[in-house]
């Protein structure tokens, strides 16, 4: 056991999507084809502008790799951490992973997008002066979409993937804010109320009864 603990941890070799080089250097490392490398460079520039516009900071990396000819795939990675405490938000981070599988066919292509968003927030929770505490929320959401669009050059593929990722992120952001976190906030507020959760449920039951009577 002591020998295993003293053994040095191997360093992971990563390929930079900007320089197309491995760090540390790797002679036989897998590299994208020339065509995909051109799209990879273009995608990194475009999504860097997208990152600045939507995230106002953070980091983004885009990787392309070959599949069975003529198909290929790409992965767009976003990461944003809360840098300073603002509006009761103590800490938080957003990680988005978008994997796109592309199958060109003539002047069109089939796109299959799988998106996963992982979100974590730590906030101050104040219901009343005598009800204070910390609230930590975390979770993930995965969505998938398939679409066929016109694409007759590398720039078209990058543009199509950009539109799909933008639409998907907007929908997932709305879902997280209105459904998941909105519902969680309602539940937590109910638990912190002075009347308690039982009283809150009694009010809801009364409301449902009144609605049922009005329908009659």
Please, which residues have CB within 8 angstroms of residue 126's CB and are 6 or more apart in sequence? 88, 132
The number of domains in the chain is 1
Closest listed residue to residue 176, CA positions, set 137, 136, 123: 137
Is 63:74 a contact under the CB 8 Å cutoff? yes
Residue 2 lies in a domain: no
91-147 per-position pLDDT tens digit: 888 999 999 999 999 899 999 999 999 988 887 766 555 556 677 777 888 999 999
Residue 51 lies in a domain: yes
131-165 per-position pLDDT tens digit: 566 777 778 889 999 999 999 888 999 999 999 99
pLDDT in the model for residue 131: 58
Residue 214 lies in a domain: no
pLDDT in the model for residue 56: 85
E strands of the chain, at which residues? 14-15, 22-23, 59-66, 72-81, 89-105, 108-128, 131-150
pLDDT in the model for residue 9: 45
Type and span of the H or E element at 16: none
Residue 6 lies in a domain: no
> Is the link from the previous residue into 36 a cis peptide, with omega within 30 of 0?
no
Q: Which two tokens stand for residue 203?
A: 């009010």
What range does the domain containing 109 cover? 13-209
pLDDT in the model for residue 199: 66
4-32 per-position pLDDT tens digit: 444 554 555 678 888 888 888 887 778 88
Residue 5 lies in a domain: no
pLDDT band with cut points at 50, 70 and 90 for residue 49: very high
CATH of the domain at 22: 3.90.1150.210
Residue 3 lies in a domain: no
Residue 215 lies in a domain: no
pLDDT, greater one: 153 or 76: 76
Please state, for a pLDDT cut of 90, what percent of the chain lies above it: 40
Q: What is the mean pLDDT of residues 209-214?
A: 73
Residue 133 lies in a domain: yes
């Amino acid at each position: 056991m002591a020998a295993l603990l003293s053994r040095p941890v191997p360093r992971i070799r990563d390929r930079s999507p900007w320089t197309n080089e491995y760090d540390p250097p790797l002679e036989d490392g897998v590299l994208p084809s020339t065509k995909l490398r051109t799209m990879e460079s273009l995608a990194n520039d475009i999504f860097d502008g997208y990152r600045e516009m939507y995230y106002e900071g953070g980091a983004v990396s885009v990787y392309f790799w070959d599949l069975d000819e003529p198909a290929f795939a790409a992965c767009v990675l976003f990461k944003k951490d809360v840098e300073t405490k603002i509006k009761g938000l103590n800490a938080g981070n957003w990680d988005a992973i978008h994997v796109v599988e592309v199958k060109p066919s003539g002047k069109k292509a089939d796109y299959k997008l799988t998106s996963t968003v992982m979100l974590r927030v730590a906030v101050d929770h104040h219901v009343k002066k005598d009800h204070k505490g910390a609230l930590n929320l975390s979770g993930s959401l995965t969505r998938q979409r398939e679409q066929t669009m016109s694409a007759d050059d590398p720039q078209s593929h990058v543009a199509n993937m950009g539109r799909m990722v933008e639409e998907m992120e907007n929908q997932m952001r709305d879902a997280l804010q209105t459904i998941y976190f909105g519902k969680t906030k309602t539940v937590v507020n109910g638990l912190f109320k002075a009347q308690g959760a039982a009283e809150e449920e009694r009010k809801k039951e009364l409301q449902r009864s009144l609605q049922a009577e009005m329908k009659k």
